[in-house]
Structure 1
């Protein structure tokens, strides 16, 4: 007989505001499970304060202490539990598995068409509603007309796998119309057919801009230190990591381990102390052996440092007469990128009072990886003037700071 869902995922909410909620997962192990769990935690706007991972290769036990950021954020813990359950290997009773979406095939793509009057923070408000409804943005085109109206074409998938129902589609449009208020002229949601392929293209990036956006950045090595120890354990390599704390740091580390086929047999994530986070990870290669080869150690540690120090790239440049903000998000080998990037960027721009003239999301491949790239043409007729270099640097700093949680 299978285990109940409470035995697999247990969520104990903090008793007071700001007190961490404890998330416990107890299930069969699979490659990259820790990365998948943390990614879903991030999608709900949560920050991991500390954690413990343990597995014998067949069964794993994970404890995460999480808090919402901002504190006022309302979290649907029941939905988070279902999302975490969907990450766990299929061993639950059939009556429960039938309630979970089938992840063996790609989810259907829908197009949300929002036609509205333009106003500051419009795109962020749309993005916020989609996050609250557990709808994921897969692509986007934002177009502003000369009359001051905006057409948003948002290509989305549904974590609840319910957009095929009229109730779910109506709920989404009603929620959006309620948030946008009188600005909303119309809202439609339908399955994305072949006629929308022309809107899903991604304008090419010039070689000069690509070199700047995807170049290897040099950083203060003191912000990320990794010690490799093969003497502490007879069967595992110990990684001792100390790094400047930031949002999604744990995900970035686990993502590299997943992509490099490194199994974490035991891991302890300590709380942040004076802005720095410490991790002890006992790891093995996928063949169950230590990482003995020095060259392999250097390669793996270099990849980890790159992800810890520069998990995202942010630049601002000129696109003809316009100012353009570009944000690059490296994706996992599975094709998934860090969650809530579009949410954070639009929030930062809204906070600065900067309007978005147009926006698009697409993919770009470099020699060693694929990137999710967000492009924003900024409206220079309203809000902050963007003519000075100082103003542009302020935008980059604000966007990067929001993405990193600083």
Structure 2
């Protein structure tokens, strides 16, 4: 007996009646730990902002409604709604037949595990110009080609050789038609100055460099990850406008702990919250999110621990609240280091326990540099 595929009713997308109205995405499927985080990550990956959200679950089945709007210019991109729907359906657990829960299927070995995607190497040579790196990044994002690592080299005469280690969400980059599509779109942004552009399967030696990490000076690490700086930043903000508040309350529900968050809005805010909750192994039974017109957001999460009980331990409460404050104050860590005639920009972003990084970080960095008319030399 086969496992039934998710029906079209798993995900529904309803666009607003008038221009500017949000698009409502409704998801109804079996529940799984971290589903809210995975969904928010996907929404962020497609360049969408969550204006309002509701989520509820009984532990077996969940129901999620998100009111979405495209990012304002200059980040705005054409939203492929049909593709977004397909990707959300792929995220959702398959409904189990005849009341058999998905945990049983996983234990029986019937749930398919995701394999490591094949890594490809994109390399091209052309003359440099402001915004080149961002334009290439835009093409890769629109084609669902995930950037794993980049090496940029610029010669004194203004030529660049860029190496992009990428994976394909559609798993078609090994085909001739998919590569020709990539070449055509890359040619449109590289222009006539391009002298070569190739995509090939990365060898074992090439792929091994993906695991290598740059060694940063201790002073830079301290500057980027100092908890003292985060505490000072929290203190300064609380004195100036009291925009950030994270509290936990066990008196309003007999079975759940209420996590209340009030803060200013930023790109990927809901993802940062759900990622932190997921990594702390906290399960959300009901959640509500609202972003006001003045940039102030309110979040209510009724949650339990992995054992299904309230979060009663005071130390766990303090640790959870502190971590949420840190992630909301500093979703990215940024440092600027002088290197003689050049400046080195360092940006660090959190990675989920599952190993997934924050989406579109490289896209946003290159966009900022393009808007500031800064070239990337190395």
TM-score (ref. length: structure 2):
0.88
Question: Which residue of the partner structure matches residue 302 of structure 2?
Answer: 282
Cα deviations by residue, 1:243-273 (Å, 9 ceiling, x for unpaired):
1111111000000110011011000101224
Aligned residue among 201, 207, 220 for 2:218? 207
Aligned residue among 110, 129, 147 for 2:120? 110
Gaps of 5+ in 1: 94-101, 359-406
- C-alpha contact (below 8 Å) 2:265/2:291 kept by paired residues: no
1:151/1:283 CA distance change after superposition, 3 Å: same
1:142/1:92 CA distance change after superposition, 3 Å: farther
- C-alpha contact (below 8 Å) 1:52/1:63 kept by paired residues: yes
- C-alpha contact (below 8 Å) 2:37/2:274 kept by paired residues: yes
Aligned residue among 182, 196, 204 for 1:194? 204
Q: Give me the whole-angstrom Cα distance separating, in 2, the residues matched to 1:236 and 1:37.
A: 23
- C-alpha contact (below 8 Å) 1:3/1:92 kept by paired residues: no
Question: Which residue of the partner structure matches residue 336 of structure 1?
Answer: 356
Question: Which residue of the partner structure matches residue 185 of structure 1?
Answer: 195
Q: Give me the whole-angstrom Cα distance separating, in 1, the residues matched to 2:96 and 2:179.
A: 30
The question of 1:31 aligning with 2:36 is answered no
Question: Which residue of the partner structure matches residue 366 of structure 2?
Answer: 346
Question: What is the CA-CA distance between 1:13 and the residue it aligns to?
Answer: 1.9
Question: Which residue of the partner structure matches residue 315 of structure 2?
Answer: 295
Question: Which residue of the partner structure matches residue 256 of structure 2?
Answer: 236
Q: Give me the whole-angstrom Cα distance separating, in 1, the residues matched to 2:206 and 2:14.
A: 44
The question of 1:247 aligning with 2:249 is answered no
Question: Which residue of the partner structure matches residue 41 of structure 1?
Answer: 43
Question: What is the CA-CA distance between 1:73 and the residue it aligns to?
Answer: 2.5
Cα deviations by residue, 1:232-251 (Å, 9 ceiling, x for unpaired):
11110111210111111100
Specify the SS of the correspondent of 1:349.
helix
Question: Which residue of the partner structure matches residue 374 of structure 1?
Answer: none
Q: Give me the whole-angstrom Cα distance separating, in 2, the residues matched to 1:184 and 1:62.
A: 46
Question: What is the CA-CA distance between 1:223 and the residue it aligns to?
Answer: 2.7
Q: Give me the whole-angstrom Cα distance separating, in 1, the residues matched to 2:113 and 2:347.
A: 28
Question: What is the CA-CA distance between 1:14 and the residue it aligns to?
Answer: 2.4
Specify the SS of the correspondent of 1:278.
strand
- C-alpha contact (below 8 Å) 2:6/2:89 kept by paired residues: no
Aligned residue among 82, 90, 115 for 1:86? 90
Question: What is the CA-CA distance between 1:90 and the residue it aligns to?
Answer: 2.8
Question: What is the CA-CA distance between 1:347 and the residue it aligns to?
Answer: 0.5
Which stretch of structure 1 is more off in the superposition, 180-189 or 75-84? 180-189
Number of residues of Structure 1 aligned to a counterpart in Structure 2: 350
Gaps of 5+ in 2: 98-111
- C-alpha contact (below 8 Å) 1:53/1:267 kept by paired residues: yes
Q: Give me the whole-angstrom Cα distance separating, in 2, the residues matched to 1:127 and 1:357.
A: 16
> 1:251-270 maps to which residues of 2 (within 5 A)?
251-270=271-290
Q: Give me the whole-angstrom Cα distance separating, in 2, the residues matched to 1:142 and 1:130.
A: 16
Cα deviations by residue, 1:75-110 (Å, 9 ceiling, x for unpaired):
1111111111111113389xxxxxxxx762111111
Aligned-residue CA RMSD (Å):
1.8
Q: Give me the whole-angstrom Cα distance separating, in 1, the residues matched to 2:4 and 2:113.
A: 20
Specify the SS of the correspondent of 1:270.
strand
Specify the SS of the correspondent of 1:356.
coil
Cα deviations by residue, 1:329-383 (Å, 9 ceiling, x for unpaired):
011101111111111111111011111101xxxxxxxxxxxxxxxxxxxxxxxxx
> 1:142-221 maps to which residues of 2 (within 5 A)?
142-197=152-207, 200=210, 201-216=212-227, 217=230, 218-219=232-233, 220-221=237-238
